[in-house]
Amino acid sequence: MAAFDPPAPPSPLPVMDALALTVGELRLVVGSDSRALALKRILMAGPLGALPSKVAGVSESVLAPLRPSLALPRVRVTSTRCADDGATKWAMEFGDGQRSETVLIPSRTRATVCVSSQSGCTRACAFCATATIGFRRNLSAGEIVHQYLVARAAAQRAGLEATNVVFMGMGEPLDNIDAVLRAVRSLTDVFPGLSPRRVTVSTSGVVPPLQRFLKESRASLALSLNATTDEVRTRIMPHNKTWPLGSIMKVLREATAERPRRFFVEYVQLPGVNDTSEDAGRIADLLRGLDCHVNVIPHNPFPGSRFRAPDRDETLRFHRQIQESGLTGIIRWPRGRDVAGACGQLALRTA
């Protein structure tokens, strides 16, 4: 008789970032809508260290071959600090020892989660404490989503729903565009079901991935503007030499021409540097023709910062001048400043 070679064993499935998978992607690996929904629900019920031994709605005969391929991030909360105003900041350490920080900002009826997209940051903005620790690495989509799950659990214990996510923690999100887009898709999927307009990605203005983000994502965009001339912006945000104001505004206008959309504009107020009445007028000139909401953010000091925090009257005056120029927006007063959890203060300090 002729000898036959035994059948080759099935090829192992590639490792998948489980928290980044949408229901549609899970359907391809579990074979049905109902099983995909059940598995996504369990994944988003976390934070999980591992898949549970049983998943209701998914038989073990289906799940067992998948278990080695569904990778959950290895994350350990190394510190939790609660601010007097109710904000909470967590430092999280990942499996390779790198760390980032996450902040929960409660309001009367809901909560906002501020997530990091990198450990450290690729930018060197002079007003931001994260720049002092340099860049460690990009975070995976699952590591980003895990941050939301940790903060959401804390919000639910306080009787609040974490309905908003802002990518305004450590890092420049658009320098990690693939993982950020995947995290946004996961967060706005059936579970946890966040509205895309309640997920906001902030950028200092990195033009090529900015164009991609505006084409591929329905999430909100926040531009960290912080100056009204290229000379000043380059001084406080050195990457402006590569992507000056004109190139960024061109991208926003092109995106608006394709479909109407509103942008958030973040403006860190540095007294005597970027907050003159002339600056207020130039902000209006830069944003003319765009639907923008301008957030004035008083600078939050940190050890070694060469800038001071504006006093309340200075911030009220500058905000009034911006409104008088025809723009709408608010003052984003500091939250979590006493635990170094406010905008621009994240630098892995625990005391």
Q: Is the pLDDT of residue 5 over 70?
A: no
Q: For 40-51, how does the pLDDT look when each residue is reduced to its tens digit (9 = 90+)?
A: 999 999 899 999
Name the strand (E) or helix (H) holding 321: helix 312-324
CA end-to-end span of the chain: 78
C-alpha distances out from residue 175 to 10, 115, 191, 204, 205, Å: 37, 15, 26, 10, 10
| Residue spans per domain, the chain | 16-71, 75-339
Q: For 154-177, how does the pLDDT look when each residue is reduced to its tens digit (9 = 90+)?
A: 999 999 999 999 999 999 999 999
Name the strand (E) or helix (H) holding 186: helix 177-187
DSSP code, position 192:
T
Q: For 7-30, how does the pLDDT look when each residue is reduced to its tens digit (9 = 90+)?
A: 555 556 789 999 999 999 999 999
Give the residue-averaged pLDDT of 263-282. 98
Comparing 6-10, 138-142, 186-190, 254-258, the range with the smallest average pLDDT is: 6-10
- Give the model's pLDDT for residue 142: 98
Q: For 217-249, how does the pLDDT look when each residue is reduced to its tens digit (9 = 90+)?
A: 999 999 999 999 999 999 999 999 999 999 999
The reported pTM is 0.95
Q: Which of 346, 345, 336, 351 is nearest to 92 (CA)?
A: 346
- In angstroms, the CA 90 to CA 348 distance is 9
DSSP assignments along 20-58, one per residue = G--HHHHHHHHSSHHHHHHHHHHHHT---SS--S-BTTB
C-alpha distances out from residue 149 to 112, 137, 343, Å: 12, 21, 21
> Tokens 């001071």, residue?
308
What does the block give as tokens for 309? Answer: 């925090």
What does the block give as tokens for 336? Answer: 């979590």
Q: Let me know: does 334 contact 82? Beta carbons within 8 Å.
A: no
75-339 falls under which CATH superfamily?
Answer: Aldolase class I (3.20.20.70)
Helices (H) and strands (E) in the chain, counts: 10, 14
- Give the model's pLDDT for residue 85: 97
Q: Let me know: does 332 contact 297? Beta carbons within 8 Å.
A: yes
Q: Let me know: does 138 contact 118? Beta carbons within 8 Å.
A: yes
pLDDT > 90: percent of the chain: 94
DSSP code, position 295:
E
Q: What amino acid positions are annotated as catalytic residues?
A: 101, 343
Q: Is the pLDDT of residue 80 over 90?
A: yes
Q: Is the pLDDT of residue 1 over 60?
A: no
Q: Helix axis angle, 207-216 relative to 177-187, nearest 10°?
A: 20
